[in-house]
C-alpha cells in the first residue's frame, strides 16, 4: 500500500451475462507524492454502474487506507459528487472522457460530426476551460460556453454535454485548485487495466460466469498490482 495521503482512481468495466448487465469495479490507490498506483481487489456487481454501486466499492476499501484518501479521480457519474463530498474528498472528473464524449480528434480517432464551425469552437473552448489558469481569459471562455449551451450548438447531445461541463467545471479543474495533491486529470491508468482484463476474457473462457470472471480479474490484478499514473503538475 502506498504511504502518505492517497488518491483513489476508479473505473467501471461493463459485461453482460444472460442478457443482464454486470460491472467490474476497478480501483487503485496512488500516493500524492508518487507516480505509481496499487490496485485493490476488484468488485463485480450485477446491474448498471451507478453511485449506489460505487458506494459499495468505497465501503469495501480497508479502513486504514480509506482514512488516508484525500481525492478521487473518476468519470462524471450521477451521484459521485455527493459520495466524494460526504467523505470529504476532492473530486477530479476525468478530462479525457469528457473530450472523447465531445468527439474531439484524439490520437487518430475521427468521427463524423455535425455542427460545423460552432462545434470546432466548442472543442477549443472546452480544452481552454480545463487548462487555462483563473483569470480574464478563463472567465470569458466559460461565459461563451454558457451562452452556447443555451443556443443552437450542434447536436442536442453536444449541447447537453456543454451544459454538463459548465455546471461541473470546478470538478474538472480540481487538479488546478489543489496542486499539492498531484491529481491525475484522467483515470486512464485504471481503464487500461480494464482493457487488458477484457482482452483476456475475450480470448478464452476464463470469465464464462460472474464468479469465475471475478476470480480471474482478482488474480490478475494481484499479479500486476502496480501501474504508472502521473499527476498533473500545476505548481507555479
pLDDT digits (tens, 9 = 90+) for 191-202: 888 888 888 877
Residue 41 has a pLDDT of 96
> Strands 43-46 and 90-93: what pairing?
unpaired
Residue 103 has a pLDDT of 64
CA 216 – CA 15 distance, rounded (Å): 14
| Cell digits of residue 230 | 502521473
Task: Provide the 3-class DSSP secondary structure of residue 64.
Answer: helix
Query: pLDDT tens digit string along 157-175?
Result: 788 889 999 999 999 999 9
Residue 153 has a pLDDT of 66
Residue 207 has a pLDDT of 66
Q: Domain boundaries in the chain? A: 6-95+173-228, 97-170
**What one-character DSSP code corresponds to residue 109?**
B
Which residues of the chain carry a pLDDT beneath 50? 105-113, 234-236
Task: Provide the 3-class DSSP secondary structure of residue 106.
Answer: strand
Sign for the CA dihedral angle at 16, 195, 3, 87 comes to negative
In this structure, CATH architecture of domain 6-95+173-228? 2-Layer Sandwich (3.30)
Residue 236 has a pLDDT of 38
Which residues lie across from 131 on neighbouring strands? none
Percentage of the residues of the chain whose pLDDT score is greater than 90? 55
Amino acid at each position: 500500500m502506498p504511504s502518505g495521503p492517497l488518491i483513489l482512481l476508479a473505473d467501471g468495466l461493463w459485461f453482460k451475462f444472460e442478457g443482464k448487465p454486470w460491472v467490474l469495479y476497478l480501483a487503485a490507490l496512488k500516493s500524492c507524492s508518487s507516480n505509481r498506483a496499487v490496485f485493490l481487489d476488484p468488485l463485480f456487481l450485477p446491474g448498471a454502474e451507478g453511485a449506489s454501486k460505487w458506494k459499495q466499492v468505497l465501503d469495501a476499501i480497508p479502513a486504514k487506507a480509506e482514512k488516508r484518501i484525500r481525492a478521487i479521480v473518476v468519470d462524471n457519474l450521477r451521484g459521485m459528487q455527493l459520495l466524494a463530498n460526504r467523505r470529504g474528498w476532492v473530486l477530479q472528473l476525468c478530462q479525457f472522457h469528457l473530450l472523447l464524449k465531445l468527439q474531439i480528434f484524439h490520437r487518430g480517432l475521427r468521427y463524423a460530426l455535425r455542427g460545423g464551425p460552432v462545434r470546432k469552437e466548442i472543442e477549443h473552448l472546452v480544452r481552454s476551460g480545463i487548462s487555462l489558469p483563473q483569470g480574464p481569459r478563463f472567465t470569458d471562455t466559460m461565459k461563451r460556453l454558457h451562452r452556447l449551451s443555451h443556443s443552437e450548438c450542434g447536436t442536442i447531445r453536444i449541447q447537453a454535454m456543454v451544459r454538463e461541463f459548465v455546471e461541473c467545471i470546478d470538478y474538472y479543474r480540481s487538479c488546478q485548485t489543489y496542486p499539492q495533491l498531484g491529481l491525475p486529470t484522467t483515470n486512464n491508468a485504471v481503464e487500461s487495466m480494464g482493457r487488458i482484463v477484457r482482452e483476456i476474457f475475450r480470448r478464452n473462457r476464463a470469465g464464462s460466469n460472474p464468479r469465475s470472471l471475478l476470480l480471474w480479474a482478482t488474480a490478475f490484478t494481484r499479479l500486476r498490482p502496480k501501474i504508472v499514473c502521473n499527476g498533473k503538475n500545476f505548481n507555479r
